[in-house]
Amino acid sequence: MLVVGDSLSAGYGMRRDEAWPALAAARIAAQGLDWQVANASISGDTTASGRSRLAAALARHRPALVVIALGANDALRGLPIDAMRDNLRAMIREARAARARVLLVGMDMPPNYGEAFRQQFRATFAGLAATERVPLVPFLLEGFATRRELFQADGIHPAAAAQPLILDNVWPALKPLLSRGRRAPAGMARRPPSPR
């Protein structure tokens, strides 16, 4: 399993083994599932930078499953939502062409970004999941985004104490993909199963 994300998945401000992908690896092992987890997340990454490095990561790790958790930095930098959508779509298709299943992870923005922008931003992830027929985690920080005590001093990055909560948000969509087997059948590269 390859995780391609930004600081929210890279473990910014904490040990890398405290970040949710490392906790996922531990939970996977505890449940007796035969998977390895490679965390290729980089703090500050946008969807464009993630897209530019995906081919090398696919070649290096040869994953059967790719978790794409990007987009927050696009919004924070005021980058066009249409460009974000195109980059995420390209990443989904590139991962599937490499015979990997894909899990898309969505994000949300704080209220000060305006409700119209927030709705458009959230809808981008849901729309891609529907049109590309991949499962979706609607919001990585669901359930605790307003709990200040679970964030680092910058108020943006979740603390180590929040990482198990992040994993709990990802797990319901992730576990079925882990249980289906190591690789997508060849015919699934263009047409993956509908999200459950």
For residue 19, how many other CB atoms are within 10 A of its CB? 26
Sheet of 136-137: strands edge to edge?
38-39, 2-5, 65-69, 101-105, 136-137
Active site residue 9: no
DSSP summary character for residue 67? E
- CA dist 54 and 41 (Å) reads 11
In the DSSP assignment, the letter for residue 105 is E
What token pair was written down for 186?
Answer: 């060849």
Active-site annotation holds for 52: no
61 is catalytic: no
Catalytic residue, from 7, 45, 74, 108: name it.
Answer: 7
Q: How far is CA 43 from the centre of its chain?
A: 13
Query: Closest by alpha carbon to 138, among 123, 153, 148, 149?
Result: 123
CA angle, corner 169, sides to 97 and 178, nearest 5?
A: 40
Q: Which of 49, 61, 86, 157 is catalytic?
A: 157
Neighbouring C-beta atoms of residue 137, cutoff 10 Å: 22
Active site residues: 7, 154, 157
